[in-house]
Structure 1
Amino acid sequence: MHRGENMKRSLGLLTCLMLLSTLVVSLIPMEVEAQTLTLKIITPHWEGIQVEYERAFDEYYFNLTGVHVDIEWIDVGGTSDIIAYVDAAFAANNETTCNIDIWWGGGVDPFLDQKEKGHLYSFRVNETILDLIPTNISGVPMYDTENFTWYGTALSGFGIIYNKVVLETEGLPVPTTWEDLTDPRLRGWVGSADPRHSGSTHMAYEIILQAYGWEKGFEIATKLGANVKSWPESSSAIPKAVGAGDIAYGLAIDFYAWSEVAKVGADKIGYVMPEGLTVINPDSIAILKGAPNLDLAKIFVEFVLSKAGQKLWMLPKGASGGPVDYLLGRMCVIPELYTELGNQSVVPVNPFEVESVLEYNSTLGSLRYVLLNDLIGAMIIDSHADLVSVWGEIIGVNKTFTEAGQTSTHINTAIEKMCEVPISEAEALALAANWDNETLRNEKIAEWHEFALDKYEEASDQAKLAATEIFEYFQGILDELKTKANNNLYMGLGGGTVLGLIIGIAVAYFISGRKEIAAVRA
């Protein structure tokens, strides 16, 4: 009996140990599976921002919960591409969700548009965070103070990057205003991304229109476009091209420009934000309606807006609390950090101390966002070859007139025709209200493109008339000199020699002038 009881006890103990080991083994994979969450973010932000914020947020969340976070970064292109993607995704899901948690980046205007469409989730962040962030900067809202659907996470300035070495070599001027980029001497030396893909480039053109007014602004945009060498989709390509000397000037958002200055050197690369003609604009974040990982999305938004999240923009690579692998170099949205970080900050500007900025209308910019892209695309980018051609004709003929000390009304008429815009500002706003009607939109784009080709042809005709004028002017001089030579043969060999020299100089100048207008009259 005793031996049997011991055996039963041993078997019971063995069974318990086996069950316990099985339970422990079965728990191991369950624990691993529960350790990682996924957050879906659609963004135009570059790799450096994605890497640094994913690393920092994963570290923060793991310390908070013991769980890791993977971020699925959704890249469909620039801000304008994201608008189309998100709108289509909501439409495909009966406007209930787009199966993405967060939209991060692209300024303010697109977020106002998405709020109007009902695509954003209302979420008021912790009051301790809101207390650190002003409600506006120079009249531009820093976050949605009514419904808390979006928040500015960084501040962006818009300006002109330029290559000092190229300017000195080619004898080109240092820019101070947007209008400086319309100088005929800059033909082929200017760079601009396509605003239909780049949100920051779109912002530059919207700023020009608001700074100078609709008519004058479009004139500047057209002449600037005539000087542009090419239209890449990504705005990050422009500072790189300036740094390489492929172009001398470029439209650029501040942090891309500062990055290029840091890489190439301030002695070679410059950057200017036109005084009184630009804005400091928040780069926003929003949780999208129907977010599949809502609670995690809320925590991410609050992290980005916190001091820990904001320091990533401002601190140098490798600094405590700063980025690890990439220098980000952007202006943060918390004013006190500029004082708190002091000389540690890599950002050269305190945007809250900048006084001379444009009073920007975000609502206006939002209402006509997509329409403006389509208008610039049809009038300037898709008809760029024709624009560049007629601009070259005008420059060549006008140069000959200037050297001859003459003027022509045909030159002014040609420029006015080249810069003509097919609709008024009021008409643009009226159309924008129905711009989601694809039939109307496609009809108007085709109509504007045809308008552009017609006006460039008419401008070319005016340039040819001016070329005929200057040709006849030189012909008159030559005829007059020949007549004088014939009437003064009695002056003898000496007089004939002097007149022959005068005629020779006139002919040489005449031939030079003809070279300038030969292409126009062809």
Structure 2
Amino acid sequence: MPDFFKPSRRAFIRGAGALAAAGVTAPLEAAARRDVVVLTAYPDAVVSRFEAAFEKAWPRYRLRVVWRMPHDALPYLRQPGQGGVDVYWSASPRTFAQLKAEQALRKMPVSLIGLPGRVGGSVIDDPDGYFAASEVAGYGFAVNPGYLARHGLPAPADWSDLAQPAYAGHVLVPDPVEVGFAPVLVDIPLQAYGWDTGWALWSAIAANARFVGRGGSFVSDELGAGRQGVGLSIDFFVASAIANGAPLRFVYPRQGGVNPAHVAVTAGSPNPDGAKAFVGLVLSEAGQRILTHPDIRKLPVRPSVYANLPAGYHDPFATAAQGGYRYDNALGRGRAAPAAAAFGQALVRPHARLAALWQRLRAADGGTWAKVWPLLSAAPCKESEVDDPAVQQAFFTRRDDPAAEARAAALEAGWAAAAQARHEKAAALLGGA
């Protein structure tokens, strides 16, 4: 039996209660309700609240939920009849783009008035109208206030703070070669401050940092245990840790980035009217307010919702209006993989030596600084390389294409050799410092 025909425990309990209260009429009433099948990766804390609101607003429908993680969603929706799914609702931009390319989605059936479709430089809705953002996650800094207080450090407000010598040894950075969300973190300063300035900033931050190569929650685990004071992450990982008692808070830098979740109606929807009703709720003022529940704390995509939220609740639209959030996610999608690979070769692989060189440079005189700083802060490659579609394709397909792997590996070897040469020259110049 397909998953979507299996009633949830909540639906089962409600059905039993209705039978007890209404006797033989209850089965007839239940039969009159039509299912709306939603495929999602959201946890029950999110889905249950939308389910309750939807069935209250639309008693003619009953929500059926199929849980699939993003990597499993596409195969499921490629089944005959798209597995009976009416709505796909999840945080997986590539999956939505692929479904659109396969003509597996309908045009959005609801008005998007009041939804700007972008946050700063990032377009979050499909320009052709096949899917729309339902919320965004923000990139930024997880901090342990107690740890920072013990070390006499202020909470960082923006990227430049993390480059200060005082933060040496107190910063945790996910390795962008190994951690899926981290390539966007690499590209945010590169876009916000410019290629050369961005890499100089990253070199100084890397010198202060410890790199971790495990999943996103590991940053929160390390900070929660008091082993580090600041960690780069996405807000929902940190929100989950805070909900479980971790003594953390999240700082959204002025120049941040967003990762949108989307909602769409499948081309083969068995119940397009019910799908329209559910999508309408998710994007409505009331639905967007559900996202701000203390147990969820996501960032709505309807700007009007922020007017009634508690003080301190981050408003990305207000920050963007003041010049923040310059990150262009469309540009980033192509170049994030090669930029992350260059980051790995120039900053992660030689990290111990880089940190030692920065330590010596910070103690050097002005003349030495002027000679060494350009060597340590130089970009590992030209911006035109990571923006080259052929290079981007090589990094995206390297696991499946031997020729692509050979080209990507050759580029990495060149970036590593150039970084090593600069570091050796810097070490020679610092020898008498």
CA offsets 1:244-277 (integer angstroms, 9 cap, x no match): 3222112233455566667769xx75543333x2
CA separation in 1, counterparts of 2:269 and 2:214? 29
Aligned with 1:431 (options 370, 386, 391): 391
Equivalent residues in 2 for 1:345-494, closer than 5 Å: 345=310, 348-354=313-319, 355-356=321-322, 357-366=324-333, 368=334, 371-376=335-340, 378-381=341-344, 386-402=349-365, 407=368, 411-412=372-373, 414-416=375-377, 419-421=379-381, 424=384, 427-432=387-392, 437=397, 438-439=400-401, 440-470=403-433
CA drift at 1:62: 7.7
Equivalent residues in 2 for 1:11-30, closer than 5 Å: none
Number of corresponding residues: 405
CA separation in 1, counterparts of 2:275 and 2:232? 33
Give the AA of the match of 2:113.
D
CA separation in 2, counterparts of 1:246 and 1:442? 37
CA drift at 1:204: 3.0
CA drift at 1:183: 3.6
CA separation in 1, counterparts of 2:166 and 2:83? 48
CA separation in 1, counterparts of 2:57 and 2:373? 68
User: Mean alpha-carbon deviation: is it higher for 249-258 or for 193-202?
Assistant: 193-202
User: Mean alpha-carbon deviation: is it higher for 159-168 or for 57-66?
Assistant: 57-66
CA separation in 2, counterparts of 1:248 and 1:117? 43
Aligned with 1:273 (options 249, 252, 259): 252
Which has the greater radius of gyration?
Answer: 1
CA separation in 2, counterparts of 1:383 and 1:408? 20
1:35 touches 1:67 (CA, 8 Å); kept in 2? Answer: yes
* Change over 3 Å in CA distance of 1:254–1:400 after alignment to 2: closer
1:117 and 2:77 equivalent? no
Aligned with 2:39 (options 38, 41, 52): 41
1:311 and 2:289 equivalent? yes
* Change over 3 Å in CA distance of 1:262–1:170 after alignment to 2: same
1:56 and 2:17 equivalent? no
CA separation in 1, counterparts of 2:216 and 2:269? 29
CA drift at 1:117: 3.3
CA separation in 1, counterparts of 2:39 and 2:176? 22
CA offsets 1:213-246 (integer angstroms, 9 cap, x no match): 2333244345434544233554344344323322
1:329 and 2:297 equivalent? yes
1:162 touches 1:248 (CA, 8 Å); kept in 2? Answer: yes
CA drift at 1:212: 1.5
CA drift at 1:112: 7.7
Match of 2:263 in 1: 285
Local SS of the residue matching 1:230: strand
TM-score, normalization: structure 1?
A: 0.62
Local SS of the residue matching 1:412: helix
RMSD, aligned α-carbons: 4.4
Local SS of the residue matching 1:333: coil
Aligned with 1:301 (options 257, 274, 279): 279
CA separation in 1, counterparts of 2:149 and 2:372? 30
CA separation in 2, counterparts of 1:444 and 1:42? 37
* Change over 3 Å in CA distance of 1:293–1:35 after alignment to 2: closer
2:339 touches 2:386 (CA, 8 Å); kept in 1? Answer: no
CA offsets 1:123-173 (integer angstroms, 9 cap, x no match): 32333xx334345444644533x5321112124443223233323333445
Local SS of the residue matching 1:191: strand
Which sections of structure 1, spanning at least 5 residues, go unmatched?
A: 1-26, 77-81, 317-326, 471-522
Higher helix share: 1
Which sections of structure 2, spanning at least 5 residues, go unmatched?
A: 1-24
CA separation in 2, counterparts of 1:209 and 1:283? 24
Give the AA of the match of 2:388.
A
Match of 2:89 in 1: 104
Local SS of the residue matching 2:360: helix
Local SS of the residue matching 1:224: helix
CA separation in 2, counterparts of 1:329 and 1:349? 10
1:158 and 2:126 equivalent? no
2:134 touches 2:283 (CA, 8 Å); kept in 1? Answer: yes
* Change over 3 Å in CA distance of 1:71–1:141 after alignment to 2: same
* Change over 3 Å in CA distance of 1:223–1:407 after alignment to 2: closer
1:225 touches 1:380 (CA, 8 Å); kept in 2? Answer: no
* Change over 3 Å in CA distance of 1:374–1:262 after alignment to 2: same
CA separation in 2, counterparts of 1:248 and 1:178? 15
CA drift at 1:72: 2.1
Local SS of the residue matching 2:262: strand
1:313 touches 1:331 (CA, 8 Å); kept in 2? Answer: yes
Equivalent residues in 2 for 1:215-294, closer than 5 Å: 215-257=196-238, 269=248, 271-275=250-254, 277-279=255-257, 282-287=260-265
CA drift at 1:28: 11
Give the AA of the match of 1:365.
G
CA drift at 1:420: 1.6
CA separation in 2, counterparts of 1:59 and 1:111? 27
* Change over 3 Å in CA distance of 1:333–1:119 after alignment to 2: same
CA drift at 1:207: 2.2
- Percent identity between matched residues is 21
2:124 touches 2:133 (CA, 8 Å); kept in 1? Answer: yes
1:191 touches 1:238 (CA, 8 Å); kept in 2? Answer: yes
CA drift at 1:65: 5.1
1:75 and 2:69 equivalent? yes
1:422 touches 1:448 (CA, 8 Å); kept in 2? Answer: no
TM-score, normalization: structure 2?
A: 0.73
Larger RCO: Structure 1 or Structure 2 (Cα < 8 Å, ≥ 6 residues apart)? 2
CA separation in 2, counterparts of 1:150 and 1:235? 26
* Change over 3 Å in CA distance of 1:69–1:89 after alignment to 2: closer
Give the AA of the match of 1:192.
V
CA separation in 2, counterparts of 1:114 and 1:51? 28
2:360 touches 2:430 (CA, 8 Å); kept in 1? Answer: yes
CA separation in 1, counterparts of 2:58 and 2:29? 17
1:214 touches 1:425 (CA, 8 Å); kept in 2? Answer: no
User: Mean alpha-carbon deviation: is it higher for 280-289 or for 442-451?
Assistant: 280-289
Give the AA of the match of 1:243.
G
CA separation in 1, counterparts of 2:183 and 2:83? 25
